[in-house]
Amino acid sequence: MGHAKPIPQWPWGWRSVWVIAMFDLPVTTQAARKAYARFRKALIEDGFTMMQYSVYSRHCASIENAEVHVKRMGALVPAAGEVRFLTITDKQFGRIKMFVGKRRQPAPAPPAQLEFF
């Protein structure tokens, strides 16, 4: 009987990773807007979802899988654009803190009071 090779023990959250795409693409001309729309559509078709404006994320089963998606999307970056890809572990992604503020709005005008005689 031979000894089975042990399965490497990975710390929780290290196997699966998230790719976060952050981009700044010009939209000053019609051609630039079309390039922006094509890139955004390609991100969505590749499985990315919007986290906030110009920030998209995608879950990947492994770092190797993440590199495939980064390479694919990197090849589609418009010539005048700038895109950064950040790869983080599932555990790190789970520690993201989100703060949502409320926009200050002027106080509503008091309703007109009805007069009864």
Q: What is the pTM assigned to this prediction?
A: 0.74
pLDDT digits (tens, 9 = 90+) for 21-51: 999 999 999 999 999 999 999 999 999 999 9
DSSP 9-25: -PPTTSSSEEEEEEEE-
> Where residue 113 falls among pLDDT bands split at 50, 70, 90?
low
| Residue 108 burial class via C-beta count within 10 angstroms: exposed 0-12, middle 13-18, buried 19 and up | exposed
Q: In this predicted structure, what is the pLDDT of residue 98?
A: 85
- List the domains of the chain with CATH numbers: 17-94 (3.30.70.240)
